[in-house]
Amino acid sequence: MTFPIKFRPLMLFPLLLTTACTSMQTGPQYSPSVPSAKVATVYFYRTPYSPGAVVGVDIKDNGIDLGALPDGTYFVYHAPPGQHTFTVTTDTTATQNVKLQGGATYYVKAGVVSSQHLFRPSLNIVFDLQGQAAIQSLKRLNYQE
């Protein structure tokens, strides 16, 4: 089908308008939380395709359930300053004691290792740049927000 030359520019206009007005989404976007002097910000994360990936882990703070952390996800937790005991549970339990400071940001990596027919969890506090880089491609969970 051919159109007269004077109608061709008019046919391209809707295409150009549609293309220019659409935004491009590239996946989950990491945006750091704004620090507050009254709370500490803690990012709990678990990298994708990690050992023990099929095993879910439960995260607690001082015995209070914060949420489950599936493989390839992270969540943000705002905690009051002071002493905290973070616990991760699978077949067994691992703990990480930390004194949180208000206004500070922490990155805690959860992991699972298979050992003697058990899935042993781990929690490790990592450097800011390491944690920021790790969560860029992870799916964000919204538990406490």
Tokens of 41: 């910000």
Range in 17-21, 74-78, 125-129 with the lowest mean pLDDT: 17-21
pTM of the model: 0.74
Which is more confident, 112 or 28?
112
Average pLDDT estimate for 127-136: 96
Tens of pLDDT, residues 67-76 = 999 999 999 9
**Edge-to-edge order in the sheet of strand 105-115:** 118-126, 105-115, 40-46, 73-79, 139-141
Instruction: For residue range 47-72, list pLDDT tens digits in order.
Output: 998 777 777 899 999 999 999 999 99
**DSSP letter, residue 1:** -
